[in-house]
Amino acid sequence: MTEKDRFSGDWLIVEYVYDPDGTFRGEVAQRRIVEQAGDGRLLVTQVCQPSPQLADHPMAAFAGEWVFDLETAGDQRRYLGPDVVGVGTVWQPGALTGQGLWPRFGYEFESYSVLVASDRQLTGGFFSLAGRSVADIVGVAVPEASGIEPRLDLSAPPPDPGGQWTQHRAVGPMLVATDWPSPSQRRRLWAMQDPIGATGIEITEVVDDGNRSVSVVVG
């Protein structure tokens, strides 16, 4: 498997769903299959099962099977539909962020996936509509063949943001922090500790005059 294909294979995932105010709402169990499709493309199939607690939540409509093609070109990825359209970037081996739209589901997304070990992937992000968040998500994925249960320690506190961030909030064990050093610059941090995996991640995004860069620290 090449570096750009580190996310290939069959994965079991659990996503923990929070409202934007930090209220825990339920879980979405997933099976994700990422297969080689030739010509630099991957075929992604996701089968999702929201928990009963999400019956009255927008994520209830995430149930069922979702399929999309993904085209790879160096560090760049293009989500070609039908169920996901958008773009992604591999910032370093095993660290991917993406953004776009789930047309049939009806929501925009921002997401991250970071391999903190060969058998453990931390995931998460946001679903939104017209800039308004409808679901904040933090999750974990493990290879289906590993026999390991995908699970996060939701009792783990999010990292301390320190004094350098204008706004910050918690999504379970994940910290989301934002700052505007100048009118043309925005910084955002996604960070969490993972006691079960004995590691953690920090994803720092900087947008400056429309130019975007992302750094990822694992450990």
Cis peptide before 159, with omega less than 30 degrees from 0?
Answer: no
Q: Report the alpha-carbon distance of residue 167 to residue 44 in Å, rounded.
A: 35
Confirm whether pTM is higher than 0.75.
yes
In the chain, the domains with their CATH numbers are 9-148+155-218 (2.40.128.20)
Residue by residue, pLDDT tens for the chain (219 residues) are 343 467 889 999 999 999 999 999 999 999 999 998 888 799 999 999 999 999 999 999 999 999 999 998 889 999 999 999 999 999 999 999 999 999 999 999 999 999 999 999 999 999 999 989 999 999 999 999 999 999 999 999 999 998 889 999 999 999 999 999 998 999 999 999 999 999 999 999 999 988 999 999 999
Nearest to 201 by CA among 95, 106, 47: 95
